Amino acid sequence: MSKRELIDYICEINKSAKPEFLADFAEDELNSYLEHLMELDLKELAVCC
C-alpha cells in the first residue's frame, strides 16, 4: 500500500486526522497506526453488536 493510500485509510477511520500531519510520518509508522486503528474499530464493532 502506498503512503497516500495509508493516509486515506487512516483519515476514513479517524475523521480528525489531517493528511498534512500524517504526511510527516514514515510509511511503516503509518502502517502501524492504521493497524492499531483497525483493531480498535473491530473491538468497537464487537462491543456494539
Residue 48 has what pLDDT? 65
Residue type, 46: A
Signed CA dihedral, 41, 5, 2, 16: sign only: negative
**Boundaries of domain holding 19:** 3-48
Cell 487512516 locates to: 10
pLDDT value of residue 10 = 96
Indicate the helix (H) or strand (E) that contains 40: helix 27-48
- What would the pLDDT profile of 1-49 be if each residue is shown by its tens digit? 999 999 999 999 999 999 999 999 999 999 999 999 998 866 665 666 6
Total number of domains constituting the chain? 1
Place of cell 483519515: 11
Helix (H) and strand (E) counts in the chain: 3, 0
- At residue 39, the pLDDT reads 87
Task: Return phi, psi of residue 48, to 5°.
Answer: -70, -30
For position 49, what pLDDT does the model report?
A: 60
pTM for the model:
0.81
